[in-house]
Amino acid sequence: MNNSDAKVIKTGVKIVIQSGVLKHIQTSIVLSVNTLVMELHDLRKNYGKDAIPEEYLPADPFDWFGDWLRHALLVTVHEANAMVLSTVSGNGQPSSRIVLLKQFDENGFLFFTNYESRKGIQLSSNPAAALLFFWPELERQVRIEGIIIKADAAVSDEYFLSRPMESQVSAVVSPQSQVIPTHKYLVQMHREFSSSHSEGKFSRPENWGGYLLSPHLFEFWQGRSNRLHDRILFELINQEWKRCRLAP
């Protein structure tokens, strides 16, 4: 690669163009840790896009969540259905990762994964979990806490079969969260499985399927000016959703 094609466009950002094509963006090459910390300190955003008025407080958190998710999809928030899933190991160590919400209703929030992954192992010893949605374009956050159970096998089968064949094969061959030697190894496994099942006849592996989080807590957060944000909490108490406002 010809170094003369590399340009520093601003402090800490280098772009590399090869034959007129953007090849690479490298950030923080010039920034020292101290400069970065200073820049983070100085990042300050004022919120104020929307408000949750006192007179409009839905009684049902599922309806409210549906409204906000629809809104996020409408304004094309990037990956609006991406959510942080936090689980806790048997010895109390929390861990978080993104998964995609595939369905929700009063029964819960559905996502799909490998049951033998790190999250799967944690959930088998501790079903308590939390979900977090962040929709920056709307200055909104939703926190959800509850208990996770495995989805019905029929639900998992249906979703598995609805996925593109390549994704189905990936779910079969990837031992999620296990150590593997190289990416090439994974590609090889994918290729071998695909060619030995070229007619596409294989079923969902038992270690892959849906989980359903049944919530007992929601918190809706809307950014407001001067850090006086809205926070509306719903808690399920004796089968009824109780609502209150929290200080930001």
Ligand X SMILES: Cc1cc2nc3c(=O)[nH]c(=O)nc-3n(C[C@H](O)[C@H](O)[C@H](O)COP(=O)(O)O)c2cc1C
CB of 171 to ligand X, least distance (A): 9
Query: What number of H helices and E strands is found in the chain?
Result: 6, 12
Find residue 196's DSSP bridge partners: none
- Pick between residue 111 and residue 133 the one whose CB is nearest to ligand X: 111
- Pick between residue 122 and residue 222 the one whose CB is nearest to ligand X: 122
- Pick between residue 177 and residue 214 the one whose CB is nearest to ligand X: 177
C-alpha closest to that of 108 among 206, 216, 207: 216
The interface with ligand X within residues 127-186 (CB under 6 A) comprises 176-177
CA distances for 28 relative to 3, 72, 140, angstroms: 18, 31, 29
CA distance 247 to 68: 21
Q: Does 118 bind ligand X (CB under 6 A)?
A: yes
Determine which residue in the list 62, 111, 133, 135 makes contact with ligand X, applying CB under 6 A: 111
What's the distance, CA 93 to chain centroid?
A: 19
Give catalytic status of residue 204 as yes or no.
Answer: no
Joined together, the tokens standing for residue 213 give 């989080």
Stretch that binds ligand X, among 111-119, 191-199, 219-227, 240-248 (CB under 6 A): 111-119
Q: Does 126 bind ligand X (CB under 6 A)?
A: no
C-alpha closest to that of 100 among 125, 82, 79, 80: 82
Pairing of the two strands 103-105 and 94-100: unpaired
Pairing of the two strands 21-27 and 13-18: antiparallel
C-alpha closest to that of 81 among 62, 102, 65, 66: 102
Residue 109 near residue 215, CB atoms below 8 Å: yes
Q: Does 6 bind ligand X (CB under 6 A)?
A: no
Interface mask (CB under 6 A) for ligand X, residues 21-60, using x and -? ----------------------------------------
Q: Does 117 bind ligand X (CB under 6 A)?
A: yes
Joined together, the tokens standing for residue 4 give 């003369």
The interface with ligand X within residues 70-109 (CB under 6 A) comprises 79, 82, 95, 97-100
CA distance 83 to 87: 13
- Pick between residue 58 and residue 127 the one whose CB is nearest to ligand X: 127
**Active site residue: 118, 227, 231, 245, which one?**
227
Size of the site for ligand X (CB under 6 A): 15
- Pick between residue 57 and residue 88 the one whose CB is nearest to ligand X: 88
Determine which residue in the list 64, 68, 113, 168 makes contact with ligand X, applying CB under 6 A: 113
Q: Which residues are catalytic?
A: 227
Interface contacts to ligand X, rule CB under 6 A? 79, 82, 95, 97-100, 111-113, 117-119, 176-177
